Amino acid sequence: MAAIREAGLALIHAHGYEAMSLRELAREVGLTAGALYNHIDNKQTLLFDLIDEHMDQVLAHLEEALAVDADPRGRMADFVRFHLLYHIDHRLEVFIGHSELRSLTPENRDVILAKRRLYEDRVTAVIEDGVRGGLFAVADSRVAAYGILAMLTGVCTWFDPRGRLDADAVIRIYTDMVLKGLAAPSRP
């Protein structure tokens, strides 16, 4: 099943969900089209399983990342590091999770959107903790979370591990931007 998942990710990434055929997938993994159905029910199930497993993984690892530090600034820094590294290391899953959400059935899309809300809620909660503690000052914690998520997720589109900056340098830059953007003004 792992080979089917990997080939499915690569084919959907390369051609898009609509253009990918199960015959092509079967050929990639050395199965007949009929034998492929012993492993997956249909193309929609494959897509849902790929995105759903990605969301389960990202949520599980998020909890691990946020458990490290009690201070909201530390948790936000841990979050930035986690989010960037996960998105750098799982580019295909992230791309498909965003670009092919439209291809899910309404029922499957609702499941994924609920998991995305859980992720957004956790980031929002860190911001709200910082606001309550006087460390952060934002007009709307949810909007701040959306802005941070959009900025961080963009790393998938441009980061190149062979580029001028390594992942740690990018993490330092982004962490600095996020924490400065959230910071409450210093008191005289």
| pLDDT score of 157 | 86
Only one residue has tokens 């990202």, namely 58
| pLDDT score of 31 | 85
Given a cut of 90, whether residue 3 has pLDDT beyond it is no
| pLDDT score of 147 | 96
Only one residue has tokens 């029922």, namely 107
Given a cut of 80, whether residue 172 has pLDDT beyond it is yes
| Three-state DSSP class for residue 66 | helix
DSSP string, 45-77: HHHHHHHHHHHHHHHHHHHHHHTS-SSHHHHHH
| Number of Cβ within a 10 Å radius of residue 150 | 9
| Three-state DSSP class for residue 21 | coil
List, in sequence order, every beta strand (DSSP E) within the chain. none
* pTM for the predicted model, two decimal places: 0.88
The mean pLDDT value for 82-96 works out to 93
| pLDDT score of 188 | 47
Q: Which residue has the higher pLDDT, 2 or 168?
A: 168
Domains of the chain: 1-40 (1.10.10.60), 42-182 (1.10.357.10)
Closest by CA to 134, choosing from 182, 180, 174, 175, is 182
Q: Which two tokens stand for residue 113?
A: 């959107």
**pLDDT tens, position by position, 148-165:** 999 999 898 899 989 999
**pLDDT tens, position by position, 99-149:** 999 999 999 999 999 999 999 999 999 999 999 999 999 999 999 999 999
